[in-house]
Amino acid sequence: MIRNLAQGISAFTSNAFLVDGERTVLVDTGANFDVVPKIGEHVETLDAVVLTHTHPDHVGNVNAVRDAFDAETWGFDPDQPAVDNEIADESSVQLGDEEYVALHTPGHKNDHLCFYSADPGVLFAGDLVFQNGGFGRTDLPEGNRERLVESIDRVLARVDVSLAAMHVGHGPSVTRRPYDHVEMAARAARLG
């Protein structure tokens, strides 16, 4: 089961997805709200924290989660303070009961990762793409529109119309024709 623990939070935060199952994982910790009791409402233990990238709104709660659950963090760049362990491009990562492939997708931030599992048709898109063709900002440090377009194209080449759900860094998850939203983002990023 995948739950967005930041749903309904009005603070400046990213989404924080609790993926429970054989390996219970929090995808991004969010920021500026107390995520620890929200995790505790659903699970007693947390096996790991997996980060799409290390912007403050996605990692603000890392230390609180580490302390409360003795959970290590995983991300692309282990030189970042929020990252304990490296996830290499194209490596396999277990989230809940499913295996996901990690895709290095820079453009919004150099250490950005997306996670895709073909069998259930689920994509964790971080801040690469959003609902209705939205895409990640490129006006922040490390942002680069050309690299962002390449990253969106890379994801588009991996997923297909069977994509069932896209969980994004901000806003609602997309469960109705998510592939179309990725296609729209690819077009919009080229025009923007």
What are the sequence ranges of the domains in the chain? 2-191
| Neighbour-count burial for 12-23, b at 16+ CB within 10 Å, e otherwise | ebbbbbbbbeeb
Q: What is the pTM of this model?
A: 0.97
Q: Distance between CA 167 and CA 130 in Å, rounded?
A: 8
pLDDT of residue 192: 66
Please list, in sequence order, all residues whose beta carbon lies within 8 angstroms of the beta carbon of residue 90, skipping any fewer than 6 positions away: 101, 102, 103
Total residues found in the chain within this entry? 192
Average pLDDT along the chain = 97
For residue range 127-149, what is the model confidence (pLDDT) as tens digits? 999 999 999 999 999 999 999 99
Dihedral class, residue 18 (left if φ above 0, else alpha if ψ from -120 to 50, else beta): beta
Secondary structure (3-state) at 102: strand
State which fold the 2-191 domain adopts: Metallo-beta-lactamase; Chain A (3.60.15)
